[in-house]
């Protein structure tokens, strides 16, 4: 049974997994199939699974009542945004159609922000496309603003890039002396 105190609240459990974990691979294939429908081809961004291993990144799968329904990841990058190069890039955000409209993406995105900030990122960047208006709406309503193009799809006409400054993480106070 999912822990109700896990990120995302009751019924939703977000787990860090390896990029090659079976649920992660299934969700990655599903998002690639959706890209084919929306854009006519798969996402060709070169990715190395090592990019998603701590401390350079993390890959997550969200489980709703035990069913793998979403994926999301971040990886460190040197894209300069908001005056810092201490940035991480959101990758492979995807929610299966049957779980959409239930707040899963918003909760997963908040989890990515929190874990990237704890790992030292001062900003997050991401790339999405104009044929994903629901994704653009999620990012904008979550405080992301347009940033200059970057990465593999920097010059693609359907590409849109967004960024968000992350709050500094204050370490918990140590024991008093």
* Rounded-to-integer distance, Cα 177 and Cα 175, Å: 7
Give residue 168's pLDDT: 83
Percent of the chain with pLDDT over 70: 90
Instruction: Indicate the SS3 state at residue 72.
Output: strand
Residue-averaged pLDDT of the chain: 91
* Rounded-to-integer distance, Cα 113 and Cα 89, Å: 10
- What's the pTM value of the predicted model, to 2 decimals? 0.89
- The token pair at 177 is 């002396």
Give residue 71's pLDDT: 98
* Rounded-to-integer distance, Cα 152 and Cα 96, Å: 25
Q: Which fold has domain 12-165?
A: Aminopeptidase (3.40.630)
* Rounded-to-integer distance, Cα 92 and Cα 75, Å: 11
Give residue 4's pLDDT: 37
């Amino acid at each position: 049974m999912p822990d109700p105190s896990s990120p995302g609240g009751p019924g939703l459990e977000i787990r860090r997994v390896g990029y090659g974990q079976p649920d992660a691979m299934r969700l990655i294939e599903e998002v690639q199939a959706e890209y084919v429908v929306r854009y006519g081809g798969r996402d060709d961004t070169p990715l190395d699974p090592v990019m998603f291993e701590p401390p350079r990144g993390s890959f997550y799968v969200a489980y709703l009542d035990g069913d793998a329904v979403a994926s999301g990841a971040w990886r460190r990058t040197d894209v300069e945004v908001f005056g810092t190069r201490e940035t991480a890039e959101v990758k492979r955000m995807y929610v299966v159609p049957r779980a959409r409209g239930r707040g899963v993406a918003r909760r997963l995105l908040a989890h990515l922000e929190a874990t990237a900030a704890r790992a030292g990122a001062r900003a997050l960047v991401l790339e999405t496309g104009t044929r994903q208006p629901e994704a653009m709406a999620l990012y904008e309503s979550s405080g992301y603003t347009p940033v200059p193009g970057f990465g593999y799809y920097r010059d693609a006409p359907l590409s849109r890039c967004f960024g968000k400054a992350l709050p500094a993480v204050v370490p918990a106070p140590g024991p008093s002396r």
